[in-house]
Structure 1
Amino acid sequence: MGGKTEKKTSAVKKSSAKNSKASKPEPKQKISKTATKTAKKTTAVKKSAAKEKVPVKKIPALKKSEIKKESNVVSKTPDVSVVKASAKPVALKSKDYGDDKIIHLDALEHIRLRSGMYIGRLGDGSNQNDGIYILLKEVVDNAVDEFIMGFGKKIEIEVKDSRVKVRDYGRGIPLGKVVECVSEINTGAKYNDDVFQFSVGMNGVGTKAVNALSSYFRVVSVRAGQCAEAVFEQGKLVSQRSGNLKQKQPDGTYFEFVPDEAIFGKYNFNMEFVEKRIWNYAYLNAGLTLKLNGKEYKSDNGLFDLLNKEIEGTSLYAIGSYQGDRLKFAFTHTNSYGENYFSFVNGQYTADGGTHLAAFKEGFVKGINDFYGTSYKSEDIREGMAAAVLVKVKDPVFESQTKNKLGNTDIRQWIVSETQSGLDDWLHHNPEAAKKIQEKIQANEKLRTELSAVKKEAKEAARKISIRIPKLKDCRFHIQDGAKGENSMIFITEGDSASGTMTHSRNADYQAIFSLRGKPENMYGKKQSEIYKNDELYQLMMALGIEQDVENLKYSKIVIATDADNDGFHIRNLVMTFFLGYFEELVTSGRIFILETPLFRVRNKKENIYCYSEEERDKAQKKLGSSAETTRFKGLGEISPSEFKDFISPETIHLTPVEISQLKMVPKLLSFYMGKNTPERRAFIEKHLLSNADIDA
């Protein structure tokens, strides 16, 4: 991978002179001759970004009178070295370690070289946690922080192709600190509690990471009729200017950036992911208006609106809610199995929860038991529950820069107490809903009692068969092992042929394999006790570690790896029916993926090209010429272990996340596709019917 990155970087450098004129995306603003001249550029912007001239909305021209001439503009972009990682550590002799071996990187160069430390994963845009969405989030977070502090009620966002623009109407960055605030690590206002009490953005890192990882980055700050602008390419300052405005414009900040393909490779923004993020900002900031590509997003009822959209029509009683200064939550129960939570800290979605969510759950259980004067078990109270929780915390401590899990321990007591009192007050004011909640808890209690006997029988039966799970080839590290288990995954395969290939290809440190005997039973509409009586599904639950509680999940990712044919697609549906029906939270928390393997191999005597689509196949055939041989892979077992190793390595694996746009759609989808035959489903099948020949083609 290091080699590929070096080639991309060198290609960028070679094309820099050619594109130096075309890389200005904005029309020239009218400034005096004394204005700073844009430095000659040596680093090219991605072609599409370089050639496109995009007019900037409401970014003002400068008066001729008060233009500062800046003398510290970088005239040439220094090279950024790309270090190729070695597979094994190399022991250096002492004579190899001298002064010349000490390398100094400035802050932005370090971000480019070690991007994972700042934004987590890179990715190509196919996963909602890929780096390009983190860059967008960091810029929008800064705009939202202004709204939270009471400045600016509107944010305009535009995402087209690879270019992102964000305009807020807050206070604007102090004009004398524009360059420092986007280029110098540990520079920013978010260290000052008086300015940003409940900030979302990274302390002193966020926009610097966006700058460093973008081929083109522009920031404009407007304050009291004055303006300051800075333009960077690959983290290097190429021009800056400041002065008075010709026409008065609202205060605020404008960001524009293009994620660098030299870092991310080829990528595409998935607008569904972007829209979901924008909706979350709207739900968490009642009164804030966001515009994405001209479409308006606004919520008047906050978390209530979020939960209502997710579970509309499936709640057992009217959604309950609480609005405090530092804590807000909404909740209800449905007839679905499992629990679903949407937790946020200072407006940041925490997919993996954390101490704030644990404290909310604890407070909810205490509130229920205090109100009813009972001692119901927590699992009976929370089974079937859906809730959205927002907590405002000073100095939040996240377990990574991507902020998926909160780690503050000092917040537990007040969250538990406030949740308990807020719930108690709501229950007293809603007696009908309180009655339905108790009925639901009692039904859960009865079901749990029945299941405990079934689980015990299943466990005893499994112990008699084997101490180990016969179809599981486990890995060395799991989620519970901390950083070592972050990338742990289990592949669910069909048959011994596919699992045999993968067993010889996998990395046994973090890749496990569970082999299905064939097509599992369709569990749609079955009682929960039935899955414990099904030997194969119970063994799958044991392999995953969820037979007693989903919180004991052993792997970070669950990957369904089936053939790309009729039988393979059917098995995918059956496995997904099992997860959606009984362990829905595994899907909503982003744990389930589909393994995409190449459909074709195009090769000649010198080169092999693996293709994941017909379009890629056609390009490969054109590249290698008429003598090229094309192979269609029909099953995982047909791929040799040496080839398969490349398909499941961290650098090259293709995983498609299984996602649900709305929880309320799950029962309808399962009923339509996996339930009883209906005239509507028959008509759908006839309309979309494909033969094996069609699929093979």
Structure 2
Amino acid sequence: MADQVEYSDDSIRSLDWKEHIRLRPGMYIGKLGDGSAYDDGIYVLLKEIVDNSIDEFVMGAGRTIDINMSDHKVAVRDYGRGIPLGKVIDCVSKINTGGKYDSKAFQKSVGLNGVGTKAVNALSASFTVQSYRDNRTKVAEFAKGELIRDDAEKETTQRNGTAINFFPDETIFRNYHFRPEFVENMIWNYVFLNSGLTVNFNGQKFLSERGLYDLLTKNTTAENLRYPIIHLKGPDIEIAMTHGQQYGEEYYSFVNGQHTTQGGTHQAAFREAVVKTVREFFDKDYDASDIRASIVAAIAIKVQEPVFESQTKTKLGSQNVGPDGPSVRTFIGDFVKKALDDYLHKNSAVAEALKARILQSERERKDIAGIKKLANERAKKASLHNRKLRDCKLHFEDSHERRQDTTLFITEGDSASGSITKSRDVMTQAVFSLKGKPLNCFGLTKKVVYENEEFNLLQHALNIEDGIENLRYNNVVIATDADVDGMHIRLLLMTFFLQFFPDLVKAGHVFILQTPLFRVRNKKETVYCYSDEERVNAINRLGVKPEITRFKGLGEISPEEFGLFIGKDMRLDPVILRDANVKGLLEYFMGKNTPTRQQHIIGNLRVEKDDETVNPTIAVAEDVVLPVAV
């Protein structure tokens, strides 16, 4: 029998607030990450600070927020009322301390638990807070939650408000840097939900006059819309919706200004209410999937005492809009039933266009019904022993603390698949192996997803046939060789996702795996280099004539080495969609406009040669770099 560990009074520990946050950061900010994903912890830190400034705006104090950011540091300044000077330190360093427990002051705030700013403080190597209030100011500075500077109050001529600067702790957020694209998307959502608010970010001004209407305008193109955007507003609710030409459903949902990226009770209620209202308006029992196919919609509601399913507030769990209010389902259902029905009666052209979209979806669904049934039967049989998929034990839909880490690597060929499979984390990392180059599916209908066995098995592996609500892996990582063929496979896979599952890309789930191009080593040290610049730096650091290996394909990297590149220091490039015109983007890069694209390639051709003066033993190589903008 194994010796029992002594369990006594000395075994019981009480952690102070900052120790607990630093020991269990995932409880407060979700996953950590390095900034390559939109939901990485460093963006949650920023959001926790800006949310407080937004609450000030909502309360009528301060119409401008200034945000300045470098790769590793953030400064946020609002012009609200300012933290009461006597409570500046308490508000950023004492859990369950804040002004939002007074429901009269903050009726419909996002941050109600007095935790967010304290988490930012505890997880920052440097955190400074300064409050300006009635011509007086107070400054305090912290390091990893420890107070290191407490200045006395003094006079100031600055406008009222609060300024916070923080530098995330690199021992917790390894190799991180902020990506402006993700921050810009966050800021756009803030201004869409708060008409009249101006956010200045690194010198660029963000503001919106028409709320969610502007959100859909930004994220769609006029030629993609089947009818003009329907914009409906009521007390504590705003909706914008239309139908496009794309496949799938696309939703942007918000609660009290919080972007609920994983939906929740309000999004489910909206989807249900649209189907019910449309059926009653046309007096036809249309299939729900035909009504919602190609929908693009945004919904924002305000509720009292919202209940989210985690501290990061990405999914609403509230069943009611307030302690004494109706259910979320009834509140949204009643509003949509009246407002959307009235709109369709007043706008007959829009109603006809909506009906035409529904009938088109119905025809497309029936057209592929036969092949879809056969393909799904094959996929079901294959799932018992899917030779293309080496699955992991945990999945994104599981209620597990590591669900955010779940990853599917899509690889080319058995050689690369073998290296990843042998070195992966079997708990959270799965591998899907392609055989050669996938089909260029641009311009094809969704029928090809079922006719092409590889595409069908991939969509079933991801579980995205009916949308991404039940996505099995949080990270979908394209892992191909860093050569021309590998680049082509990347483009073909991105075309597949953008053509048939654009919401997977827009929701930030698709990435490109970076693997080292060079290994530079001497007898004492090995350095893996992801760029030519890193190679040169490594050569200079390691000294005279180190051994240099150029990795031409993933299959050349041993499983032991591969494990170093897909672990905690894995480098991922997110696939970020900057252009709302997905169809035009794909048509340009993947369509048949050969002469136009050829001229673009010729005009942007770049030839790179290794620097022979650094190490003459390296052969001169020429790599053609093609511009890829997704």
Superposed pair shares fold, TM > 0.5? yes
Give the equivalent residue in structure 1 for 2:586: 670
Q: Secondary structure at the match of 1:481?
A: coil
Contact 1:352 1:589 in 2 (8 A): no
Q: CA deviation at 1:608?
A: 1.8
Give the equivalent residue in structure 1 for 2:142: 232
Q: What is the rounded CA distance, in whole Å, between the counterparts of 1:190 and 1:637 in structure 2?
A: 55
Give the equivalent residue in structure 2 for 1:62: none
Give the equivalent residue in structure 2 for 1:179: 89
Evaluate the alpha carbon distance shift between residue 549 and residue 275 of structure 1 in structure 2; reply closer, same or farther with a 3 A threshold: closer
Q: CA deviation at 1:574?
A: 0.7
Q: What is the rounded CA distance, in whole Å, between the counterparts of 2:527 and 2:156 in structure 1?
A: 56
Q: What is the rounded CA distance, in whole Å, between the counterparts of 2:305 and 2:377 in structure 1?
A: 49
Q: What is the rounded CA distance, in whole Å, between the counterparts of 2:291 and 2:451 in structure 1?
A: 25
Q: CA deviation at 1:98?
A: 5.1
Q: CA deviation at 1:514?
A: 1.3
Give the equivalent residue in structure 2 for 1:391: 301
Q: CA deviation at 1:533?
A: 1.1
Quick one: which of 574, 577, 594 aligns to 2:512? 594
Give the equivalent residue in structure 2 for 1:75: none
Contact 1:498 1:636 in 2 (8 A): yes
Amino acid at match of 1:432: A
Q: CA deviation at 1:171?
A: 1.6
Amino acid at match of 1:670: L
Give the equivalent residue in structure 1 for 2:189: 280
Q: Secondary structure at the match of 2:386?
A: coil
Evaluate the alpha carbon distance shift between residue 217 and residue 322 of structure 1 in structure 2; reply closer, same or farther with a 3 A threshold: same
Q: What is the rounded CA distance, in whole Å, between the counterparts of 1:505 and 1:675 in structure 2?
A: 37
Evaluate the alpha carbon distance shift between residue 611 and residue 499 of structure 1 in structure 2; reply closer, same or farther with a 3 A threshold: same
Report which stretch shifted further, 398-407 or 463-472. Answer: 463-472
Q: What is the rounded CA distance, in whole Å, between the counterparts of 2:519 and 2:624 in structure 1?
A: 14
Residue by residue, what CA displacement relative to the aligned partner does 1:133-161 show, whole Å, maximum 9, x if unpaired? 22211111100001112222121222235
Quick one: which of 326, 330, 333 aligns to 1:413? 330
Q: Secondary structure at the match of 1:176?
A: helix
Instruction: State yes or no: 1:375 paired with 2:291.
Output: no
Give the equivalent residue in structure 2 for 1:343: 253
Quick one: which of 45, 55, 59 aligns to 1:135? 45
Residue by residue, what CA displacement relative to the aligned partner does 1:301-323 show, whole Å, maximum 9, x if unpaired? 01101111111222111110111
Give the equivalent residue in structure 2 for 1:267: 176
Q: CA deviation at 1:420?
A: 2.3
Q: Percent identity?
A: 51
Give the equivalent residue in structure 2 for 1:257: 166
Contact 2:247 2:293 in 1 (8 A): yes
Q: 5+ unaligned residues in a row in structure 2: which ranges?
A: 321-327, 609-620, 626-630
Q: What is the rounded CA distance, in whole Å, between the counterparts of 2:127 and 2:469 in structure 1?
A: 42
Instruction: State yes or no: 1:304 paired with 2:213.
Output: yes
Q: What is the rounded CA distance, in whole Å, between the counterparts of 1:194 and 1:236 in structure 2?
A: 32
Give the equivalent residue in structure 1 for 2:478: 560
RMSD between superposed Cα atoms in Å: 2.2
Evaluate the alpha carbon distance shift between residue 684 and residue 228 of structure 1 in structure 2; reply closer, same or farther with a 3 A threshold: same
Q: Which one has a bigger Cα radius of gyration?
A: 1
Evaluate the alpha carbon distance shift between residue 489 and residue 221 of structure 1 in structure 2; reply closer, same or farther with a 3 A threshold: same
Residue by residue, what CA displacement relative to the aligned partner does 1:650-696 show, whole Å, maximum 9, x if unpaired? x122222212124x321111001110033211101223346894239
Residue by residue, what CA displacement relative to the aligned partner does 1:420-446 show, whole Å, maximum 9, x if unpaired? 222112212211111100110011011
TM-score (norm 2): 0.91
Give the equivalent residue in structure 2 for 1:74: none
Residue by residue, what CA displacement relative to the aligned partner does 1:44-85 show, whole Å, maximum 9, x if unpaired? xxxxxxxxxxxxxxxxxxxxxxxxxxxxxxxxxxxxxxxxxx
Alignment of 1:486-505 (within 5 A): 486-505=404-423
Give the equivalent residue in structure 1 for 2:393: 476
Q: What is the rounded CA distance, in whole Å, between the counterparts of 2:112 and 2:553 in structure 1?
A: 45
TM-score (norm 1): 0.82
Q: What is the rounded CA distance, in whole Å, between the counterparts of 2:379 and 2:171 in structure 1?
A: 51
Q: What is the rounded CA distance, in whole Å, between the counterparts of 1:400 and 1:343 in structure 2?
A: 16
Q: CA deviation at 1:215?
A: 2.3
Q: What is the rounded CA distance, in whole Å, between the counterparts of 2:398 and 2:215 in structure 1?
A: 34
Q: What is the rounded CA distance, in whole Å, between the counterparts of 2:525 and 2:168 in structure 1?
A: 31
Quick one: which of 424, 432, 439 aligns to 2:341? 424
Contact 2:112 2:305 in 1 (8 A): no
Q: Secondary structure at the match of 2:89?
A: helix
Q: 5+ unaligned residues in a row in structure 1: which ranges?
A: 1-90
Give the equivalent residue in structure 1 for 2:628: none
Alignment of 1:49-128 (within 5 A): 93-95=4-6, 97=7, 101-128=11-38
Amino acid at match of 1:312: T
Evaluate the alpha carbon distance shift between residue 499 and residue 177 of structure 1 in structure 2; reply closer, same or farther with a 3 A threshold: same
Evaluate the alpha carbon distance shift between residue 99 and residue 383 of structure 1 in structure 2; reply closer, same or farther with a 3 A threshold: same
Q: CA deviation at 1:462?
A: 5.3
Q: What is the rounded CA distance, in whole Å, between the counterparts of 1:105 and 1:461 in structure 2?
A: 54
Q: What is the rounded CA distance, in whole Å, between the counterparts of 2:397 and 2:41 in structure 1?
A: 25
Residue by residue, what CA displacement relative to the aligned partner does 1:84-110 show, whole Å, maximum 9, x if unpaired? xxxxxxx98434x55555444321232
Quick one: which of 305, 322, 327 aligns to 2:232? 322
Evaluate the alpha carbon distance shift between residue 645 and residue 162 of structure 1 in structure 2; reply closer, same or farther with a 3 A threshold: closer
Quick one: which of 227, 246, 262 aligns to 1:352? 262
Evaluate the alpha carbon distance shift between residue 463 and residue 487 of structure 1 in structure 2; reply closer, same or farther with a 3 A threshold: closer
Contact 1:469 1:543 in 2 (8 A): no
Contact 1:341 1:387 in 2 (8 A): yes
Give the equivalent residue in structure 2 for 1:682: 598
Contact 1:541 1:547 in 2 (8 A): yes
Q: Secondary structure at the match of 1:626?
A: coil
Q: What is the rounded CA distance, in whole Å, between the counterparts of 1:464 and 1:207 in structure 2?
A: 50
Residue by residue, what CA displacement relative to the aligned partner does 1:107-149 show, whole Å, maximum 9, x if unpaired? 1232223222211222332322222222211111100001112
Contact 2:22 2:123 in 1 (8 A): yes
Q: CA deviation at 1:293?
A: 2.6
Contact 2:136 2:156 in 1 (8 A): no
Q: What is the rounded CA distance, in whole Å, between the counterparts of 1:320 and 1:198 in structure 2?
A: 26
Give the equivalent residue in structure 2 for 1:23: none
Give the equivalent residue in structure 2 for 1:69: none
Contact 1:226 1:242 in 2 (8 A): no
Residue by residue, what CA displacement relative to the aligned partner does 1:245-271 show, whole Å, maximum 9, x if unpaired? 254x43222222222223324432222
Q: What is the rounded CA distance, in whole Å, between the counterparts of 2:383 and 2:94 in structure 1?
A: 59
Q: Secondary structure at the match of 2:138?
A: strand
Quick one: which of 360, 365, 375 aligns to 1:448? 365
Quick one: which of 151, 159, 165 aligns to 2:75? 165
Evaluate the alpha carbon distance shift between residue 123 and residue 547 of structure 1 in structure 2; reply closer, same or farther with a 3 A threshold: closer
Contact 1:202 1:401 in 2 (8 A): no
Q: Secondary structure at the match of 1:217?
A: strand
Q: CA deviation at 1:522?
A: 0.7
